[in-house]
Structure 1
């Protein structure tokens, strides 16, 4: 949904090629965004993450992987120097001002998956001013057809779910705490049925 909102075609060879950036790419949503953008085969995918996850996101299909702890990563610009047509922003902590210089001069879209009041205000201002570079807060509910499509890609082996950790229902609070820490790599699973002892 976020990639489509950013104008990124997910069908192989369909639509113009885009330079796509996935910020915070090693989390539960980012790992799927990298794979989906790469799967189309005609986009250049750049991903930011911590140094320990660079190989992971490259393995998921990122053409360039940037450590957000470096100057290059903080500037959201890889060695190729490419500016981005579309950004999927999967974590809190980056203001609009961090993304604007990294967007293509012809215009670019940042889809914010963790919108706050400030990002909604910036988005309204962009809409009112017909800005070429704009922020779009993604405030939607999941659609069954999107989930079915994702599941189909997993079953076909075209994408994979990265699992950080697994918790029994009795320890769900630990999984939640890890999720909220912002340092999970991939998805956190809570088993809804306890094992019989």
Structure 2
């Protein structure tokens, strides 16, 4: 099968197209023929050798955490009725024409949802809905979504706006700000400009936001924390700004801000499947739509990674197989 392989850690150039043996479904597994593969910023970090203590990887490896496609074969103990069904599949080795994964890692895709939209929900749909369970929002709340033009951020903007909250979007550059407005943001602030957090506070009348969702991390995440009103909530889940956001517990306590690091919690598989099913249902009903800004042929995975690292991708990035 056609696949992308990494034999050494490095820049996007280490993503090499190769022919590899077709995967075989073991007991409790299925093989999925992928039509679209998910690409997330974490993929670029792992490819560069970051995060080995959290995400151990043995070289060589096929990157990617899954995608959308059709079940081709099943292993022992799996209902053969899965064969031919459209599914979202999570698991290792998504940058490939086929991947094997456990049957409890797949979810049926409604007919109303296309391959690209389904693949775009694989990680970001789960993330967005789970974040709103950490910090539910409602009419009357003011919400900051930092990295609002990213895969998860663009869904958060839609979900928060649909809940009646006033949404302040933080993003870099007018193209991304325009997308955030299109998706329902009431205010859009460029967080590449110094003092952007003060503009967010000004948009709330000086009080600060009820909830801040930090999809940026690093220094940007620290600035996003500064926008939260006393008694509010700060939920961090991103690393695109240069690592995890570290908040001083004493400072958070003094301001009565509840801080949650969503990356510190690993969801069990049944919970992931439930969240995926909800994201697909919302998409099929037209209540959310993934903002897909770039699709690349599988062989051009390096281009997808380079664009993500350059912050040039508007919305979601996918590989089409």
TM-score tier after normalising by the smaller chain length: 0.7 to 0.9
Residue 111 in structure 1 maps to residue 235 in structure 2: yes
- Quick check: 2:215–2:237 contact (8 Å CA) kept in 1? yes
Partner of 1:133: 257
- Aligned partner (choices 191, 196, 201) of residue 77 of structure 1: 201
Of 20, 38, 58, the residue aligned with 2:143 is 20
What whole-Å deviation, never above 9, does each CA across 1:91-137 have from its counterpart, x for those lacking one? 133356423432112x1221111265662xx36x3599586114321
Aligned residues: 181
Structure 2 residues not aligned, in runs of 5+: 1-129
Mark the CA change 1:85 to 1:29 in structure 2 (over 3 Å): closer, same or farther: same
Call closer, same or farther: CA 1:159–1:166 in 2, change over 3 Å: same
Q: TM-score, length-normalised on structure 2?
A: 0.50
Tell me the residue number matched to 2:219: 94
Whole-angstrom distance in 1 between the partners of 2:260 and 2:309: 23
Gap change, CA 1:113 and 1:59, over 3 Å in 2? same
TM-score by length of 1: 0.78
Higher strand share: 2
> Which whole-Å CA distance do the structure 2 matches of 1:158 and 1:111 have between them?
23
Q: What is the root-mean-square deviation in Å for CA atoms of aligned residues?
A: 2.7
* Partner SS state of residue 61, structure 1: coil
SS at match of 1:149: helix
**Which has more radius of gyration?**
2
Query: Cα gap change, 1:48/1:157 in structure 2, threshold over 3 Å: closer, same or farther?
Result: same
Q: Is there any run of 5+ residues in structure 1 with no aligned partner, and where? A: 10-14
Runs of 4+ in 1 over 4 A off after TM superposition: 115-118, 126-131
Shift in CA distance, 31/128, structure 1 to aligned 2, threshold 3 Å: closer
Q: 1:16 to 1:55 in 2, by over 3 A?
A: closer
Q: Which residue of 2 aligns with 1:60?
A: 183
Q: Distance in 2 between matches of 1:33 and 1:69?
A: 20
SS at match of 1:35: helix
Contact 2:143–2:160 under 8 Å retained in 1: yes
Give yes or no for contact 2:218–2:245 (8 Å, CA) kept in 1.
Answer: no
